[in-house]
A = this chain, B = another copy of it.
Amino acid sequence: MTLPAPLTGVVPPVCTPLTPDREVDVPSLTRLVDHLLEGGVEGLFVLGTSSEAAYLTDRQRRLVVETVVGHVAGGVPVLAGAIDMTTPRVLDHVRYVTDAGADAVVVTAPFYTRTHPAEIARHYRLVAARSPVPVVAYDLPVAVHSKLGAELVLELAAEGTLAGLKDSSGDEGGFRAVVTGARADSAITGFSVLTGSELVVDSALAMGADGAVPGLANVDPAGYVRLYRLCRAGEWALARAEQERLCGLFGMVRVGDGGRMGGSSAALGAFKAALQLRGVIACAAMAEPQVPLSAEEIEGVGKFLAGAGLL
């Protein structure tokens, strides 16, 4: 299907359920997709950071896209990450995720290599020139160690290179510059500005963002959809209350973050434990070499679910 322009609403970065021996758990993945669609999400983003894309082999990535695209059958658009270090490698991913049916690709700046804004621009132009589907930029400095500047994003939007931005930078001032800049520039139409934040979705939508891509929406899609709709309705006080409930729920990512594992595993481990506790996925295993949550930590995640009325 064609990517809506702009894409709006809640577009969760779909977790990738794994079996105990770390293969993609296809039945759990389709159950998770159903859980998200029932929550009211308007699109799905597979192979992002919350999907453990960095840990999936090419074969597993392909299987994820095929599974999800096949299961939603055009019901909502499916965006797929093409996460790799540089242009030639990203283009290989673009090829197979679009072969598998992705409606858009989501692409970061180059990483591992020390890069430069001129090289980032070149990267997006080359990817867009070869991609059969729209390209959404993924701004994730915590992973790629460079920041997409608002001016660069707007330039690439105006020339048609980029169809949207998923901003997980945490820089709300820069995010606002893209939102207002895109609105002000008549050369930019249908550009999707999406926040990757769990914690300030109401702020982002109040600024004029089109939608949100929060990892925590795996756990509580209905909550984020409710939040989105309250914001759209201008019910800011109710929206704030819903957002604060979700901020409380997000505290689950700190359960495992006591120095025994990395921040990525603590967050993904909590999301997966919550999905298992809610009966959505069969197994909370994470890809190697992530350290799993302990039984006690999983219990801690359960308390957050209970506190948010989700158990």
Contact = CB atoms under 8 A, between A and B. Distances in A.
Contacts of A144: 112
Interface residues of A, number: 65
A122 B288 contact: yes
19 contacts: A54-B113, A58-B58, A58-B92, A86-B287, A86-B288, A110-B289, A114-B263, A116-B260, A116-B291, A119-B262, A119-B291, A122-B291, A170-B172, A172-B172, A173-B197, A173-B199, A176-B247, A206-B206, A236-B236
A288 to B, nearest CB: 4
Contacts of A288: 86-88, 122-123, 126
A87 B118 contact: no
Residue of A116, A123, A142, A177 with highest tally of chain B CB at under 10 A:
A116
A180 interface: yes
A143 to B, nearest CB: 5
Interface of A: 22, 49, 54-58, 60, 83, 85-89, 92, 110-116, 118-120, 122-123, 126, 142-145, 170-173, 176-177, 180, 197-200, 202-203, 206-208, 234, 236, 240, 244, 247, 259-265, 287-291
Contacts of A244: 176, 180
Most buried by B among A58, A114, A263: A114
A55 B113 contact: yes
A122 B288 CA distance: 8
Given A176-B200, A236-B206, A288-B123, A116 B86 contact: no
Contacts of A118: 260-261, 291
A291 B89 CA distance: 17
Nearest to A208: B240
